[in-house]
Structure 1
Amino acid sequence: MPSYVRTELRPGGFAVVWLERGPVNLMDLTMWQQLMTALQDLEDNQAVRGVIFASGLKRNVFTAGNDIKELYAPQTSMERYREFWVTSNVFLARLYRSPLVTIAAIKGACPAGGCCLSLCCDVRIMTEQGHIGLNEVALGISVPLYWGRLMARIIDPRTAEHLCKFAVLLPPKEAAAVGLVDKLVPSSEELLPIAEAAMIELLRQPDSGRTIVKSRFRDEFSHKWEAYPEQEWPEAWEMLASPPTVKALEATLQRLSGKKTNSKL
């Protein structure tokens, strides 16, 4: 199995989890499984109190989101899709309530699945170049229920609905203005050092009180989210296997591969 996720322990009680699936960190089943394993291992390590998620790629991208091949019905199966969808959402739900301090160090592009991963973190720090948002509608599919609800817990619900409904990808300054991002940094070279400094500062406080408060705010939502994918995937698969969605995703795949298409998507 290829390795797309690398964990690096740092002095001071935290780790950096690097996303390293070139060329743009598309999130397939293997990457989500490896993220789940990395999170579990860190939570089981009593010496680790926090984690930073970062891109290990040279390109200016945190992650380009879910691999469309996992959603394109002609190239996958109902069984594979179920495993993909349940695995990814269980990881995200558990990340959201993790007792660790969690920071997303967002380098550049951060649509869809990458956006949701960052929304699950306690703090989002982003470069001044890039974009972020839940843009699934532009691909002919819907924003997953709990992904949209999560955004509406973090920013104004009316703004969240507008961004999701119209597949808006916000540039960093606008994302910071609505509260989607907590801090901006001028360049990718400064991103990790600033994220590490933020982690060190947050870890100055003892864990006991913070973990209780985080649990009170997040556990109920997180547990409902974790249970929902088993209900969600059959209807989602029906949508993905429908001719209009297949056509829309096929056009997207052709566009990304550089092939000409008559689709207006």
Structure 2
Amino acid sequence: MSEEKQVLVEQQGQVAVITINRPKALNALNTSVYHELDAILDEIEQMEDVRCIILTGSARVDKEGNIVPQKQSFVAGADIAQMKDLDVAGGKFFGNDGNAICRRLENFPVPVIAAINGFCLGGGCELAMCCDIRLASEHASFGQPEVGLGITPGCGGTQRLARLVGMGKAKEMIYTARGNYTAQDALDMGLVNYVYPYEQLMDEAMKLAKQICKQAPVAVALCKEAINVGCQMDLDSALKYEANCFAQCFATEDQKNGMTDFVEKKKGPDKHPFLGK
């Protein structure tokens, strides 16, 4: 019997849905998950019609086969069973694997939406922070509890969290090792964009993904690049980088068709493409 895949992908129109598939282990991240996820991203890069990705965790079911929202997990962390006996060199290799995947998601040419359906702790929170947009179910919980295990966050938690929620809140979350920040807490601090009932989470993620898919793909990709790169620069350098991205758009058919269509067919304020949406 072939071993069950730990990362699944399903293409739904122009959206690729990636699911971390270790429900019995709360979708914990190990080396094989990182490698499978890397291979899945290779596969998606060959799908020319994919314009957005949704990343989520597989659902757990009880003995009766029912999904219990309060017991679901996006990713409950990195696999402690694999990490516990590592030495310094092994820890570095494990961290490098995780960091490589996080950076790849962060810089992937299409937007990535995290649909956080439950526990989002440690490495799971780090994985979610690499995504462009984060949606959470109302039962999701967040935290960076690594110091309680005698380690630091190792896949960007000390860096991305402070950039997203501010240094003070990030230090609180990391220093206390709390793993019980609620979805509302995450929304209030800016860690997630929206919170939905569990049953609506994937529908809302798909609705958002489809809205992104309707836009000019090269322009969206360049916007992602400009934001990610520009945030690491001083403002003057970032504005020059944005100007270069802006200029590149004028070599695309989307720009030519979009602007021509607007000028020729959608004249008048009631037909403006940015109004009434």
- Band the TM-score falls in, shorter-chain normalisation: 0.7 to 0.9
Q: Give distance in 1, aligned partners of 2:222 and 2:212.
A: 15
Find the counterpart in structure 1 of residue 183 from structure 2. Answer: 172
Q: CA deviation at 1:204?
A: 2.0
SS of the counterpart of 2:140? strand
**Identity %, equivalent residues:** 26
What per-residue deviation string (whole Å, max 9, x for no partner) do you get for residues 218-255 of structure 1? 24889xxxxxxxxxxxxxxxxxxxxxxxxxxxxxxxxx
Structure 2 residue aligned with 1:149: 159
The reply on whether 1:20 has 2:31 as its aligned counterpart is: no
Distance 1:22 1:85, change over 3 A: same
- The 3 A distance-change label for structure 1 pair 134 and 6 is same
> Unaligned regions of 5+ residues in structure 2, if any?
61-70, 233-277
2:125 is the alignment partner of 1:115: yes
Aligned equivalents of 2:49, 2:157: Cα separation in 1:
31
Alignment-derived partner of residue 238 in structure 2: none
Verify: 1:140 aligned to 2:142, yes or no: no
**CA RMSD between the two structures:** 2.0
* TM-score in terms of structure 1 length: 0.76
Q: Find the residue that maps to 1:62 and give its secondary structure.
A: strand
Corresponding residue number in structure 2 for 1:182: 193
Paired letter, 1:204: K
Report deviation, 1:2.
4.3
Give distance in 1, aligned partners of 2:148 and 2:87.
23
Output the amino acid matched with 2:74. Answer: F
TM-score by length of 2: 0.73
CA contact 1:43–1:100 (8 Å) conserved in 2: no
Task: Name stretches of at least 5 consecutive residues in structure 1 with no aligned partner.
Answer: 223-265
Deviation of 1:97 after TM superposition, in Å, equals 1.2
The 10-residue stretch of structure 1 (121-130 or 146-155) with the greater mean CA deviation from structure 2: 146-155
Higher RCO (Cα < 8 Å, 6 or more apart): 1
User: How many residue pairs were aligned?
Assistant: 218
Secondary structure of 1:110's match? strand
Q: Would you say 1:44 and 2:54 are equivalent positions?
A: no
Once residues 56 and 118 of structure 1 are traced to their aligned partners in structure 2, the CA distance between those partners, rounded to angstroms, is 15
How far residue 81 of structure 1 moved from its aligned partner, in angstroms, is 4.2
The partner residue of 2:57 within 55, 58, 83 is 55
Write the mapping of 1:103-252 to structure 2, written as runs, cut at 5 A: 103-144=113-154, 146-169=156-179, 170-187=181-198, 189-219=199-229
Cα deviation for residue 68 of structure 1 reads: 0.5
Provide the secondary structure at the position in 2 that maps to 1:129: coil
Listed one character per residue, the Cα deviations across residues 46-73 of structure 1 (whole Å, up to 9, x for unaligned) are 1111110111222411111100122212
Partner of 1:142, secondary structure, is: coil
| Inter-partner Cα distance in structure 2 for 1:85 and 1:156 | 24
In 2, Cα distance between the equivalents of 1:118 and 1:83?
21
Letter in 2 for 1:106: I
Supply the distance in 1 between the matched residues of 2:228 and 2:104 (Cα, whole angstroms): 10
| 1:37 shift after superposition | 1.0
Equivalent residues of 2:99, 2:155 under 8 A apart: no
